[in-house]
Amino acid sequence: MPVSLSLDRFEGDLAVLAAADGTSIDVPRGWLPADAKPGDVLTVAFARDLDATVKLDAETRKLQAELNAADDGGDLKL
């Protein structure tokens, strides 16, 4: 479901977007169209990417297995 957010302002490399309920969301300025300016209304939609989720899960499990294999079970020495 698309959501309309207004571009409130820029703070350095961040863009501050405001929702109708007053919630603000900071996003990297580079995510916005190059010509976006304060006062513009932007439409945003979120969608689940099942393929990317499955891939990330597999990569995470592989890394965890590698870390567990390298762990000797001893205490950390700081």
Question: Cβ distance 18 to 31 under 8 Å?
Answer: no
Beta strand extents in 1-78 (DSSP E only): 3-11, 14-18, 24-28, 41-44
Give a yes or no: residue 52 inside a domain: yes
Torsion of CA 74, 76, 77, 78, to 10 degrees: 180
pTM for this entry? 0.71
Residue 73 Ramachandran class (φ > 0 left, ψ -120 to 50 alpha, else beta) = left
Q: What is the pLDDT along the chain (78 residues), one digit of tens a residue?
A: 899 999 999 999 999 999 999 999 999 999 999 999 999 999 999 999 999 999 999 999 999 999 888 887 778 777
Give a yes or no: residue 77 inside a domain: no
Count of domains forming the chain:
1
Domain of residue 15 covers 3-70
